[in-house]
Amino acid sequence: MIPMPLVEALRNAQHAVIFTGAGVSAESGISTFRDSLTGLWERFDATSLATPEAYQADPALVWGWYEWRRMKVLQAQPNPAHRAIAALARRVPRLTLITQNVDDLHERAGSTEVIHLHGSLHQPRCFTCGAQPDVPLAMPDEPEGGRRLSPPGCARCGGQLRPGVVWFGESLPGDALEAAFQAAQQCDLLLSVGTSGVVYPAAEVPGIAWRAGAVVVHVNPQPHVEHPEREFALTGAAGEQLPRLLE
Ligand code: BV8
Ligand code: ZN
């Protein structure tokens, strides 16, 4: 049963924020960040691979991991959670979608103006000069992943391409973070979907909304609710819970 205050909040919402993490893509078969190291990658630790140091130490290892992840995303489809979020945007006067994910499944489900706090797998750029390749990268030729792949060269300066994601120790895109914090400050309802809330400063977003007086809802099989009021949990998988909000 959806808690009545949540039904009310959804019905009356003037500005809703949806804040998503890896859990929203889990039912598309994209493993969450914490367990993204399946198969040949499981001997590595994601937080140690997702760093500029790891890339500089072994560009082919890090590029191979991201190409494997990009290939998994290209093979995946948006799931009912992505589609419900795109549908919710047509139900409330204003909806801001903020994601920590680097896949494009929200866009492929029909969401527009997605704020990507941590960049995208689909926008590689030159590690040296920042130039983006003028042709999209082909599907990686390694279906199994786990193989080291030398990063392609930069057409402009001869440097090497890097994934267009924000690594640990790197700053988030200032405009994206500013837009996310502002939306959290202004909204009257925030749905936090499929995130463990451990990575900062992105993890500040739900707290900013709650302190500004919004109703906050965590959609997660293992929700983490901090406050006794104005904060709820929809316990379960996003692909099951979010479509219920549209009923
Ligand atoms: C920075 C892109 C400094 C790459 C990622 C305080 C302030 C500032 C920084 C820090 C700070 N404290 C610590 C730091 C450093 C660090 C940090 O936060 N470390 C953590 C580990 C403690 N932060 C940074 O380094 C950030 N940079 O602040 O720079 C700086 C400052 C000034 C000047 C220069 C530099 C950059 C962080 C960005 C890192 N990049 N991703 C890539 O993808 O490879 S982070 C990555 O992990 C994700 O993007 C995501 O944000 C994060 C957490 O992942 P989640 O999405 O939450 O996924 P997770 O697997 O953890 O959880 C899945 C959840 O889904 C679970 O709760 C599960 O229960 C649930 N679930 C599962 N199935 C389902 C489901 N839910 C619903 N339905 C289901 N079916
Ligand atoms: Zn270059």
* C-alpha 16 to ligand 2 mean position (Å): 40
In the structure encoding, which two tokens stand for residue 18, read together? Answer: 């949806």
**Closest atom of ligand 1 to CA, residue 203:** 51
1-29+78-118+171-247 to CATH, choices 3.40.190.10, 3.40.50.880, 3.40.50.1220, 3.40.190.170: 3.40.50.1220
Question: What pLDDT is attached to residue 2?
Answer: 83
Query: pLDDT tens across 77-136, in order?
Result: 999 999 999 999 999 999 999 999 999 999 999 999 999 999 999 999 999 999 999 888
* 3-class DSSP assignment, residue 160: strand
Task: Name the pLDDT band for 33 (thresholds 50, 70, 90).
Answer: confident
Question: What pLDDT is attached to residue 87?
Answer: 97
- Cα–Cα distance between 150 and 129 in angstroms, integer? 18
Question: What residues are annotated to the active site?
Answer: 118
Look-up of token digits 């009257």: 188
In the structure encoding, which two tokens stand for residue 191, read together? Answer: 């749905």
Flag whether pLDDT at 41 surpasses 70.
Answer: no
* 3-class DSSP assignment, residue 141: coil
ipTM more than 0.90?
Answer: yes
**Which of 82, 75, 88 has the alpha carbon at shortest distance from 101?**
82
**pTM of the full structure:** 0.95
* C-alpha 156 to ligand 2 mean position (Å): 5
Flag whether pLDDT at 175 surpasses 80.
Answer: yes
Look-up of token digits 């494997």: 68
31-75+121-165 to CATH, choices 3.90.1330.10, 3.20.10.10, 3.30.590.10, 3.30.1600.10: 3.30.1600.10
Going by alpha carbons, the residue nearest to atom 52 of ligand 1 is 199
Q: Which ranges in the chain are annotated with CATH 3.30.1600.10?
A: 31-75+121-165
Going by alpha carbons, the residue nearest to atom 19 of ligand 1 is 199
- Say if ligand 1 is within 6 A of residue 185 CB: no
Going by alpha carbons, the residue nearest to atom 51 of ligand 1 is 100
Our measurement of the distance from residue 132's CA atom to the centroid of its chain's CA atoms, rounded to an integer in Å, reads 21
**Which of 165, 155, 158, 166 has the alpha carbon at shortest distance from 132?**
155
